[in-house]
Amino acid sequence: MGLFERLVPLPLLANQSGTINGYVGTTSKSAVAVRASAYVAQGSAAQRSVNSTSANDTSAGTGAQQVTITYYDNSMAGPFTEVVTLNGTTAVNTVGTNIRYIEKLQVTQVGTGGSNVGTIQLWTTTAGGGSVFASIIAGDNQTFWAAHYVSASRTCYVVGFRAALTVGTGGATLQTTGDPNATNLPYTNLTGTLRHGVETNLLDWDPWLVVPGPNLIIVNERPDNAIAQTAYASFDFVEF
């Protein structure tokens, strides 16, 4: 069974459910968050802007045409979504002014190429100002972050967790941060360490693991050897 192929029956009454998938390239033995691209959580909500590094990612282009931002606000209410129609390398401002914590970016409309040609970039301010704090790698169509925000009004139940490396062996941990708005809180290991190699190893639970919101769930990987490889991880959840 492949890393992203496991199907889990989920209650129809859930507010939200699914599988969170991520990967990260590494050459180190140090722990690393399983995020395909860098993410910097912002200190306050604001209006943002989006562009691409390629002129082909535009409303009539062959690449990405529209991107959906899924996010939470200052109070960890959400998730909210906004669809942005791309204009190539020219940044397009969001309508929303309450965008703070990013759950994911996802290409939701494409041209004949089928995916984003350039890197899709989410900027801290309008008109491509400030700095890029979230992005989609060229060709990925989504952020591929093994992380999930739990809103203040919900409780998340983790069903299963899996990880693999392309070359060596290592250990993956599923961690929580507590309230993202709080300061000086340590990461807490939710599951112990999932030891694995190039074959996918799996943990699942009955009863499910309980993560009350507001919270952030994130996978960290620690390879055993400092060699060039890619770590993959995913987890299944139900949220009420």
The torsion of the CA quartet 181, 161, 38, 102, rounded to 10 degrees, works out to: -40
Give the pLDDT score at 73.
Answer: 98
**pLDDT at residue number 10:** 44
Pair 126, 90: CB distance under 8 Å: no
Domain 16-36+145-239 superfamily per CATH:
GOLD domain (2.60.120.680)
**Is 123 buried (19+), middle (13-18) or exposed (0-12) by CB count in 10 A?**
buried
- Confidence at residue 7, expressed as pLDDT on a 0 to 100 scale: 40
In angstroms, how far is CA 107 from the centroid of its own chain?
A: 13
What does the block give as tokens for 52? 């691409």
Query: Tokens representing 149?
Result: 């925000």
Range(s) within the chain of domains with CATH label 2.60.120.680: 16-36+145-239
Q: How many C-beta atoms lie closer than 10 Å to residue 30's C-beta? A: 11
State the pLDDT at residue 94. Answer: 98
pLDDT digits (tens, 9 = 90+) for 28-83: 999 999 999 999 999 999 999 999 999 999 999 999 999 999 999 999 999 999 99
* Alpha carbon distance 91, 150 (integer Å): 29
Nearest to residue 24, comparing CAs of 15, 33, 16? 33
Tokens for 54, please give them.
Answer: 């390629």
How far is residue 46's CA from residue 95's CA, in Å, rounded to a whole number?
10
Intra-chain end-to-end CA distance of the chain, in Å: 28
For the chain, which residues score pLDDT lower than 50?
1-12
Please give the pLDDT value at position 16: 84
C-alpha angle with apex 219: 217 to 220, nearest 5 degrees? 135
Looking only at Cα atoms, what is the longest distance across the chain?
49
Q: What is the pLDDT of residue 14?
A: 59
pTM to 2 decimal places: 0.92
Q: Which helix (H) or strand (E) holds 103?
A: strand 101-110
